[in-house]
Amino acid sequence: MMAEQEGETVRNIRAAAVQFEHAAGDKEANLSKIRGFVADAAEQRVEVIVFPECCITGYWFLRRLSREELQELAEPVFDGPSSQALMQMANRYGMTVGAGLVEAADDGRLYNTYLVAMPNGEFKRHRKLHCFVSEHMDSGSEYTVFDTTHGCRAGVLTCYDNNLGENVRIAALMGAEVLLAPHQTGGCASKDPHIMGLIDRKLWDNRKADPAAIEAELRGPKGRAWLMRWLPTRAHDNGMFLIFSNGVGVDDDEIRTGNAMIIDPYGRILAETWKAGDDMVVADLEASLLPESTGRRWIKTRRPELYGPLTQRTGREQDTRAVRFDEKGV
């Protein structure tokens, strides 16, 4: 995507971030929506498209499923039917396509996995590092940074993974120029009055008659305003583009806030939506912004010999699930 050495070619990438309301457990319905967006993106010459976390299987309802029910919903990646469907889209349109699902691993474990299919036939997989949605699902333990077929180096961090600045910094140190950041967030229940909070289902159901009311919620402290406290910082401080994809609408007993957006290496929003419904935003990622961006210059001044404490346990660490559900008061 970019080159810091004089004389090398600088190549821009056209990217898309999608928000859509998934159907819980209905993989074919969700894949149908994905196919529609990919076709629309192809008409706009999009090269990389990012769909939300677990958008193929559905997300928040997973916490209610038994292990047996999760195993029935899950599927292997790469060779599984959903993986092959994504690869067919990637091949047909010459596009890198990312979407999330529940993975059934060879060893019997279940993961919240984000799958990226590339038009050269190659897959990449990111297992969410901080999985909390189900006690039957495990967290991954590897970072995912790779070269795409479109000339950029991409990283993947799923939802909560992005909340920890260390994860984003490591992706940057591994060379990520573009961060794929699939989410299912906003409108989350919390006993902390200073973050998010539930959105009244009636506002969503009445969105066509009164779009201003629901859009105010999507743009307010339960949605965009909360994201603006931290999300652009991840891009700015690490000198990378960030493609934020999110669910929107009904997600079990919560209302997701959408706000799909694309952010540049200076933390500026290139494209965004606050539509109360399925939507896609498209932006050109200008590679020339990367080399001298603030975050990249800051990273050059790191003093790793001072950072030993970051790798030491303090005794205050807890499992993500315990912390997340304590926040909700559940």
**137 pLDDT higher than 50:** yes
Write the CATH number for 89: 3.60.110.10
Dihedral of CA atoms 43, 49, 53, 54 in degrees, nearest 10, equals 60
Q: Side-chain half-sphere of 225: how many Cα atoms within 13 Å? A: 13
pLDDT at residue 249 is higher than 60: yes
In angstroms, what CA-CA distances link 34 with 27, 61, 71, 164? Answer: 10, 20, 23, 29
- pLDDT, tens digit (0-9, with 9 covering 90-100), for 163-178: 999 999 999 999 999 9
State pTM to two decimals.
Answer: 0.96
**Structural domain that includes position 205:** 13-328
Where in 129-268 does DSSP place strands (E)?
A: 144-147, 153-156, 178-182, 241-251, 254-257, 261-263
The pLDDT value recorded for residue 325 is 84
Count: domains in the chain: 1
| Residue 59 domain flag | yes
**Do the domain assignments include residue 4?**
no
- Note the pLDDT tens digit of each residue in 189-239: 998 999 999 999 999 999 999 999 999 999 999 999 999 999 999 999 999
- Residue 3 placed within a domain: no
Q: Cβ contacts of residue 6 below 8 Å, gap of 6+?
A: none
91 within domain boundaries = yes
